[in-house]
Amino acid sequence: MQLYPLKFDPILKERLWGGTKLKEVLDKDIDNDITGESWELSAVEGDVSKVANGSLKGASLQELINEYGEQLLGKSVVERFGKEFPILIKFIDAKQDLSIQLHPNDALAKERHNSFGKTEMWYIMDADPGAKLIVGFNKDVEKEEYKKSLEEDTLLELLNYEEVGEGDTFFINTGKIHAIGAGVLLAEIQQTSDVTYRVFDFNRRDKNGNLRELHTDMALDAIDYTRKDDFKVAYPDDKNVCNPMVDCPYFKTNSLSLDKNFEQDISQRDSFTIFMCVKGEAVIDDGVGKVTLKKGETALVPASSTQLKITTDHARLLEVTI
């Protein structure tokens, strides 16, 4: 059969720090007040996405990869990743500050966890006044100085804070210490990995009164201790064209700010395409099938698609490929 643009059922995650914006702003079907993450497209073991539309409804992403391979992913993607889907897509709502954390690189993650590393990017969809992210250190830090700050509970004094608003975009490479601050709703694009080293959690306790696990020792050799200004993404915001945002070895992301219909020739792409709708609404049609994307929804266009027509009068889409 010919593949078509696919939507998937969100995998919703309750979190200690979660809130209500996924329900109230993105219209997710949620019946609690602590949902922090909506996994939109995932092949993480135990959390594999299932198709929500069309004749393949109910099939898992991994089943599709096993059956359709290059038709779904693209030849170059299969050559590089085999039958592993390389990207994890989420929306995240932080009612409280997330823990301060970092992620190991590919080599360390492979050695320790038999996993990919976790390079990621964030697109801010909504932020309360004064909401901030933590991204990196505010100065070069020695490992012993860092360890002392943990012992003396002064880590927060070493960190860099960034006030954010809608449209701000951040690239978080492996080793960079970071945290999403309270009041931020964002779209996250990352390598397929659930490996996180949590180094400080504001001494919070879970619903059972327990402190959450920290990964202090494992993090020591994974942290980049140098101060860098390489995280905030400056990107063009021209109407009705593909505006490049991030181009790294693990994913490429463009922003499409559309106020009219838009057509794309993707016949030479040799990769699947993911669209995340972060504003407005659009219909994506590849000639085989079509999907409607509203704010907070995601679609996977197979590599076999060659031509896209996007019908809209107001939408912002994040377009992700390999």
Positions marked active-site: 198
Pair of tokens at residue 101: 């954390």
Of 99, 102, 130, 117, the C-alpha closest to 36 is: 99
User: How many CB atoms are closer than 10 A to CB 11?
Assistant: 18
β strands within the chain, DSSP E:
11-19, 35-41, 43-44, 47-48, 87-94, 100-102, 120-127, 132-137, 159-163, 169-172, 178-180, 184-191, 197-200, 243-247, 252-258, 262-265, 273-285, 290-294, 298-301, 307-321
Within the chain, residue ranges assigned H as helices are: 21-24, 61-68, 70-73, 75-81, 106-113, 143-151, 216-220
Judge whether 244 and 234 are in contact, CB under 8 Å. no
Can you tell me the distance from the alpha carbon of 312 to that of 66, in angstroms, rounded to the nearest whole number?
34
